[in-house]
Amino acid sequence: MTSTEEFLLFEGCLIAQRLPYLEKSARLVFEKLGLKPKDAPFGCCPDPIGIQCSDYTSWLSLGARNLTIAEQEGKNIVSLCNGCTQTLTVANYELKHSESKRKKINKILKEVGREFKGTINVSHFLTYLLEEVGVDAIKEKVTKPLTGLKVACHSGCHYMRPSEIMQTEEDHESPKNLRKIVASTGASIVDYDEEHLCCGYAIMNADQDVSLRRLQKKLDSAINAGADVMCLICPSCFSQIDNNQRNLKKKFEKEYNIPVLFLSEILALAMGFSFDELELKMHLQKPKIIQDKFEGGAA
């Protein structure tokens, strides 16, 4: 059954600044499902790798500030980003379970008139759709089934890790949640050996060669398995896989052009929204197969 409870939408920096069409598709899907996202003056989550490793206290303080905004509203957070979900979930968990950390961070927050109380929860939008909406309710909104579309799913690293805190009940070697939602659109799920493999985004700045080789391995696996498109739930993974296929060509002299779709885009397509409404032309790897198979090759 669809939840009518309001929640605060945390789109994150990357979507807000570089990939606004992903936010648009998410809002269209939420509206179609009768969900009620509300905006809030959040800051950066912040990044769960770089900032946490360089200054843990600042990382935890900034995450806690965002949580207090939701606490003040009395509403839970639903995030469109794996990294944001991980930061906010881990910060929430650590502050709820450690009195010493909570006292230390609240002393910092007091300087800006805030206090962490631990009264709200954080969900990734995929988890929210599964637990609060349900596959059957999503199927009811499908008006244009994506029958015949072969989809390789990629859940990404931060959605599932650390498992004892994220509590997605996912096996990172064999994730199921994304597959369940994509299958509700009528699309076919492709099994490929490297589904669990990191996309390489997190190490791009440290070692571009390793990052691109990891991406190449993942794409080769999906393409060889017959995938038409890849479906993701993380804007960082989206940026890596959509943007860097052109860099693979430069480095390995091999053409890659598999389209990449965010989960909200696949859902929106199945719910009747058009290629143009979703601004799919903004993708670097143009999902022309969507036009050809489901819109008669429209421009």
**Residue 47, Ramachandran bin (φ over 0: left; ψ between -120 and 50: alpha; else beta):** beta
**Residue 267, Ramachandran bin (φ over 0: left; ψ between -120 and 50: alpha; else beta):** alpha
The domain segmentation of the chain, as residue ranges, is 6-125, 142-294
Question: What is the topology classification, in CATH, of domain 6-125?
Answer: Glutathione S-transferase Yfyf (Class Pi); Chain A, domain 2 (1.20.1050)
For the 142-294 domain, the top CATH level (class) is alpha beta
What amino acid occupies position 172?
H
Residue 274 has a pLDDT of 95
Q: What is the pTM of this model?
A: 0.94
DSSP string of 89-144, one letter each residue: HHHHHHHHH-HHHHHHHHHHHGGGT--------EEEHHHHIIIII-HHHHHHT-SS
Question: Cβ atoms within 10 A of the Cβ of 253, count?
Answer: 7
- Helix/strand/coil (H/E/C) assignment for every residue in 151-163: EEEECCCCCCCCH
| Spatial separation of the C-alpha atoms in residues 229 and 258, rounded to whole Å | 6
Mean pLDDT by 10 residues, the chain (299 residues): 76 96 98 96 93 94 98 98 97 97 98 98 96 97 97 94 76 85 98 95 92 97 98 97 94 93 98 96 94 70
